[in-house]
C-alpha cells in the first residue's frame, strides 16, 4: 500500500524521515530524502537530499537544509510542503507510490524520549 518511504529516525537528531522515489530528468531512478531534525537551541530543521546514496557521505551539507526555526507547526508545514512537491513530481513521472505526510504525533514521541528518557 505505502512505499518504503516511511522510515524511523536512524541518526542522532533526526526525528522523522521520508523517501520519495521517482525519475530524474534523464529518466534514471532518483531518490529524494526529506527529514525533520531537532537541533541545539530548541531549533527544528527540515532537510532534503537528492540521491544521497551517490554522495561520498550521506551527512547533510548546509545547502541540504530548506527550513530552520523554533515552531513545530511551522516545521511540519515546511516539511510537508517539500514532501508534497516531490511527491507530485514523482506522480507526474508515473510513480504510484504513496508517502505519508509528517505528523506532529510522530515527533512528540522522540521529543519526549529526548527530554525525559521515556
Mean pLDDT by groups of 10 residues along the chain of 118 residues: 41 86 91 95 95 91 97 98 96 89 93 76
Is residue 1 assigned to a domain? no
pLDDT of residue 4: 46
pLDDT of residue 118: 58
Is residue 80 assigned to a domain? yes
Is residue 105 assigned to a domain? yes
Provide the domain limits for residue 107: 6-116
pLDDT of residue 110: 84
Prediction pTM value: 0.85
Is residue 15 assigned to a domain? yes
Is residue 82 assigned to a domain? yes
Is residue 37 assigned to a domain? yes
Is residue 33 assigned to a domain? yes
- The structural domain count of the chain equals 1
Task: Specify the long-range contacts of residues 21-24, CB closer than 8 Å, at least 24 apart.
Answer: 21/90, 21/95, 21/97, 22/86, 22/89, 22/90, 22/93, 22/95, 23/90, 23/93, 23/94, 23/95, 24/51
Check residue 21 and report its DSSP letter: E
Is residue 21 assigned to a domain? yes
Amino acid at each position: 500500500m505505502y512505499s518504503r518511504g516511511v522510515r524511523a529516525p536512524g541518526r542522532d537528531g533526526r526525528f522523522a524521515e521520508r523517501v520519495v522515489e521517482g525519475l530524474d530528468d534523464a529518466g534514471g531512478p532518483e531518490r529524494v530524502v526529506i527529514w525533520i531534525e531537532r537541533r541545539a537551541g530548541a531549533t527544528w530543521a527540515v532537510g532534503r537530499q537528492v540521491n544521497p546514496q551517490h554522495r561520498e557521505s550521506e551527512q547533510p551539507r548546509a545547502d541540504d537544509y530548506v527550513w530552520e526555526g523554533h515552531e513545530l507547526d511551522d516545521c511540519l508545514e515546511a516539511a510537508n510542503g517539500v514532501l508534497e512537491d516531490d511527491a507530485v513530481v514523482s506522480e507526474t513521472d508515473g510513480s504510484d507510490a504513496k508517502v505519508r505526510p509528517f505528523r506532529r504525533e510522530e515527533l512528540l514521541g522522540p521529543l519526549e524520549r529526548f527530554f525525559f528518557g521515556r
